[in-house]
C-alpha cells in the first residue's frame, strides 16, 4: 500500500439544510461536516465513531495516546505502580471540574472505569483481573489487581472505541446497556442540547472553565486548546451538497469526502486535502451468530468463500494507491499481522460456497442485510455484498437505513423477521484493531461480552486473556496468530481489505492534528 494519501475511520457526510456563508460576526464559529448523524450520545453504550467523536468534544480521559502511540497522563497528574506490579496509584490534576461546576473526584473515575469495563473489549479483560478500586483522598485512587496485567495504562489511554471517558458518578452509575441521560463532562466543549437537531446539526460551545495541559497537543494527548466560542457539526448526506458547502466557504471542514470527489476538491480555490492516517481502515462484514442459518459455523464459512477483497476495495475507494488486500485481522504492516487461517477469505469460490450452504441446511430462507445508505464506504461495500450473496444463491432482503439507525438496530438480538438482522458492514481504524485485546471483533464473549453478532467461543477468550498477561513479545505474536486462526475458523467477522481516505478543509484552517481520530481542538482560522 502506498501511504501517500489519507484516511479517517468510517467515511460519509451529511445534510444540514441550508448553511449560510460566515459573516464577520461568525468569525469565532467553526463549522464541520461530519461523517454521520449523531443520534446516540453515549460512547460507552455504542462503539459508533460519530458518538466517540462526540465524546471527545465534551468528556476527557485519565490517560491519552499521543501521535507516536505512546500513553501520557491527561486528567491524571501522575500514576505509579507498586514493585509487584499489582497496584496502580493514580492522582488527578487539581482543579478539574464538571460542566456543572462540581469537582471531579476519584469516585467519579472509579464508577466510570467500572461502567466502561463492562462494554469495552480491553476493559472487560482488565476488569477480569481487577481486585478493587478505592479512593485514597480527594485526588487519589488505587486500582489493585489480582495478578499482574501490563496493559492497564494502555487500556485507560486507548484512543478509540470504546474510549474510557470519565463521567460524573451519577452518569457512570447508569446501566452500561442503557444510554446516559445527558452529556455533562469536563472536556473542552459543552454540548448545547437545546440546539441539537438529529439529522441536521449538533452545537457545542467553549468550556470556559477548561484548563488544558501545558504540553503541546499530540494525538489525543496534551493541551486541548479551544479557539472558537462555538463549534457546529453539520450532517449532509448528499455528497454534492457537502462539496459545494466547503467550496463556497459555508463550512470550514469536511471529515470524509469520498475519493471520487477529491480531484474536484483539489482543483478548487481555497480548499486543501490533508493526510492524517497512514494505516487507514479495515472493512468488515459482520455476521450474526445467534440465528439460522449463521448459527451454523459451516454457513458462516461459506460466506467467507463469497468474498473478493479486490472487488470490495475497488467499489469503496477505487484508486489502487488507496487500498490493499489484506488477510490480517490485526491490520497489515503491524507487529501482529499474519495470514494464518485466511485461506477461505482470500480465495473466492462460489461452487464451494453453495455446497457448504447446502451442507449447513440453508434452504432459501430470507437473509436480512442492513444497508447504511449515508456512509459512502459502507454503502459501496453493502452493494457488493448484495450482489455476491445473490450470486451464491442466497435469498436476500436488503433493508436500507442511515448509519445512526443501523448502530441502534445492530444491538437487537431479535430474530431477523422480528426486527433483528443477519449481516451488516462496518469499518475500524488501526488503534481499534492492532492486537487481540484491542480488537473487539475477534472476541468470543457471547451475548454478554462479544460485540454485535455475539460470537461465543471460550477458546478465543482464553487466548485473548493469555495475550494480555504475556510479556514476552515472541509469545505474544504466537498467541495473536492463534487468536486469528480460531477467529477465522469461527468467523467472528470477515475482513474485506484495508483502505485510506481523505479529509478536506478550507486553506484558512490551521492547527489540524494528524491522527486516526478527527480531533476538533487546536484548530484556528486565519
In the chain, where the domains are located: 1-36+188-278+501-526, 59-179, 281-499
- Model pLDDT for residues 355-366, shown as the tens digit of each residue: 999 999 999 999
pTM: 0.89
Pick from 15-24, 328-337, 401-410, 464-473: least confident: 15-24
Find the mean pLDDT for residues 38-63.
Answer: 97
Give the start-end residues of each E strand in 110-255: 130-135, 140-145, 165-166, 189-191, 201-206, 230-234, 253-254
Q: Thinking of the domain 1-36+188-278+501-526, which architecture would CATH place it in?
A: 3-Layer(aba) Sandwich (3.40)
Q: CA-CA distances (angstroms) from residue 424 to 112, 288, 438?
A: 30, 9, 21
Residue 405 has pLDDT above 60, yes or no: yes
Q: How many CB atoms lie within 10 A of CB 458?
A: 10
Residue 419 has pLDDT above 90, yes or no: yes
Mean pLDDT computed over every residue of the chain = 93
Find the mean pLDDT for residues 250-264.
Answer: 94
- Model pLDDT for residues 437-458, shown as the tens digit of each residue: 999 999 999 999 999 999 999 9
> Domain 281-499 class?
alpha beta
**Nearest residue to 53 (alpha-carbon basis) of 236, 215, 246, 255:** 255
Find the mean pLDDT for residues 346-350.
Answer: 98
Would you state the pLDDT for residue 5? Answer: 29
Residue 270 has pLDDT above 90, yes or no: yes
Give the rounded percent of residues in the chain with a pLDDT score beyond 70.
95
Residue 132 has pLDDT above 60, yes or no: yes
Q: Which spans in 327-439 are helix H? A: 350-359, 376-391, 403-409
Write down the CATH number for the domain with range 59-179.
Answer: 3.90.76.10
Find the mean pLDDT for residues 104-114.
Answer: 98
Would you state the pLDDT for residue 438? Answer: 95
Would you state the pLDDT for residue 300? Answer: 98
Q: Which spans in 305-450 are helix H? A: 309-316, 350-359, 376-391, 403-409, 446-449
Residue 417 has pLDDT above 90, yes or no: yes
Would you state the pLDDT for residue 275? Answer: 79
Find the mean pLDDT for residues 259-286.
Answer: 92
Find the mean pLDDT for residues 419-431.
Answer: 97
Judge whether 1-36+188-278+501-526 and 281-499 match in fold: no
- pLDDT band, very low/low/confident/very high, at 26 (cuts 50, 70, 90): low
Amino acid at each position: 500500500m502506498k501511504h501517500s494519501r489519507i484516511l479517517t475511520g468510517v467515511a460519509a457526510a451529511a445534510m444540514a439544510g441550508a448553511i449560510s456563508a460566515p459573516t464577520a460576526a461568525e468569525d469565532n464559529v467553526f463549522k464541520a461536516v461530519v461523517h454521520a448523524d449523531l443520534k446516540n450520545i453515549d460512547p460507552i453504550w455504542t462503539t459508533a465513531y460519530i458518538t466517540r467523536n462526540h465524546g471527545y468534544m465534551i468528556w476527557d480521559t485519565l490517560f491519552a495516546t499521543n501521535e507516536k502511540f505512546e500513553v501520557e497522563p491527561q486528567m491524571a497528574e501522575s500514576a505509579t505502580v507498586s514493585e509487584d506490579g499489582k497496584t496502580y496509584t493514580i492522582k488527578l490534576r487539581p482543579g478539574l471540574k464538571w460542566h456543572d461546576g462540581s469537582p471531579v473526584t476519584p469516585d467519579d473515575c472509579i464508577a466510570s472505569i467500572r461502567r466502561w469495563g463492562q462494554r469495552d473489549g480491553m476493559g472487560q479483560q482488565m476488569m477480569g483481573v481487577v481486585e478493587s478500586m478505592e479512593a485514597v483522598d480527594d485526588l487519589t485512587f488505587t486500582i489493585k489487581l489480582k495478578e499482574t496485567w501490563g496493559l492497564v495504562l494502555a487500556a485507560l489511554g486507548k484512543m478509540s472505541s470504546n474510549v474510557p471517558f470519565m463521567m460524573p458518578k451519577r452518569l457512570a452509575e447508569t446501566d452500561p446497556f442503557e444510554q446516559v441521560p445527558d452529556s455533562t463532562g469536563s472536556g473542552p466543549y459543552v454540548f448545547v442540547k437545546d440546539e441539537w437537531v438529529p439529522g441536521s446539526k449538533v452545537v457545542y460551545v467553549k468550556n470556559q472553565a477548561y484548563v488544558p495541559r501545558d504540553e503541546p497537543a499530540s494525538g489525543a494527548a496534551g493541551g486541548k486548546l479551544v479557539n472558537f466560542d462555538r463549534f457546529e457539526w453539520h450532517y449532509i448526506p448528499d455528497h454534492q451538497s457537502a462539496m459545494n458547502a466547503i467550496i463556497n466557504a459555508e463550512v470550514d471542514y469536511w471529515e470524509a469526502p469520498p475519493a471520487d470527489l477529491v480531484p474536484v476538491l483539489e482543483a478548487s480555490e481555497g480548499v486543501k486535502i490533508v493526510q492524517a492516517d497512514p494505516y487507514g481502515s479495515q472493512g468488515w462484514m459482520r455476521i450474526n451468530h445467534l440465528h439460522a442459518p449463521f448459527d451454523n459455523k459451516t454457513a458462516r464459512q461459506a460466506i467467507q468463500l463469497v468474498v473478493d477483497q479486490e472487488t470490495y476495495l475497488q467499489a469503496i475507494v477505487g484508486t489502487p494507491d488507496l487500498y490493499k488486500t489484506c488477510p490480517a485481522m490485526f491490520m497489515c504492516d503491524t507487529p501482529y499481522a499474519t495470514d494464518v487461517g485466511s485461506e477461505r477469505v482470500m480465495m473466492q469460490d462460489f461452487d464451494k460456497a453453495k455446497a457448504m450452504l447446502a451442507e449447513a441446511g440453508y434452504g432459501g430462507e430470507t437473509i436480512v442485510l442492513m444497508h447504511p445508505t449515508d456512509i459512502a464506504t459502507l454503502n459501496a461495500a453493502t452493494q457488493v455484498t448484495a450482489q455476491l450473496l445473490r450470486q451464491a444463491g442466497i435469498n436476500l432482503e436488503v433493508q436500507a437505513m442511515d448509519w445512526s439507525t443501523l448502530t441502534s438496530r445492530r444491538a437487537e438480538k431479535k430474530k431477523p423477521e422480528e426486527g433483528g438482522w443477519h449481516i451488516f458492514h462496518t469499518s475500524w481504524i488501526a488503534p481499534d484493531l492492532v492486537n487481540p485485546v484491542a480488537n473487539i471483533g475477534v472476541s468470543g464473549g457471547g451475548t454478554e461480552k462479544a460485540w454485535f453478532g455475539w460470537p461465543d467461543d471460550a477458546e478465543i477468550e482464553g487466548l485473548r486473556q493469555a495475550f494480555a498477561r504475556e510479556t514476552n513479545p515472541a509469545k505474544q505474536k504466537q498467541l495473536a496468530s492463534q487468536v486469528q486462526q480460531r477467529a477465522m475458523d469461527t468467523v467472528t467477522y470477515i475482513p474485506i481489505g484495508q483502505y485510506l481516505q481523505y479529509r478536506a478543509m478550507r486553506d484558512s484552517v490551521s492547527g489540524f492534528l494528524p491522527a486516526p481520530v478527527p480531533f476538533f481542538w487546536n484548530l484556528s482560522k486565519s
